[in-house]
Structure 1
């Protein structure tokens, strides 16, 4: 993510992108992700907290909006799980669409090592950088 702030959330996660995808690679993306630190210090993460933490990355994994020319803010995230995820590693496969009028939508599928476990939908506010 050239020119982006990489401390905090980005550094607190381990990212393994599938070949041909990545934070600076335009297009839909796929990344296996796991937390390196617990969401709350001193507390063990649950399958739900791990899934919610990864879900917040949907639009960034689907890096289809040029963050050098556009400001992108995820205004809402919805996670729908049809079962609890298992393990530390979660896979997020995501794609993003944006309208010319300042809104966007990132839609993703969440998998674990056993397969499909849910969907992620993020609404986006998209503007031009000045």
Structure 2
């Protein structure tokens, strides 16, 4: 009896509907850069696109690690079906041993590489 019930339930779903069972509509998925591999999202928002944050300042002179971070960056960008937003801070304030200091930030080298490639190919790339 249970088998017939399961078979009946499976017959009323197509593959797309079956893959969405238990998923709420209009959901937000928060993910690390490394765990996004193989997934797709309508919109991707990448935070921390400041030089020294992504790529990490410790990997600046390590060619192999920098290449790996570049690969992860482009994997993340390609997870977006419609649009990808890259977000960075222009300034940040930090409590240091010398007191509270404000530091200017510059875009990640990956941001600059992507912007240059888009501009070269005539692809829309807005900076706000």
Note whether the superposition's TM-score is higher than 0.5.
no
Please state which structure has a larger fraction of its residues in helix.
2
The TM-score, its normalising length taken from structure 1, stands at 0.25
Please state which structure has a larger fraction of its residues in strand.
1
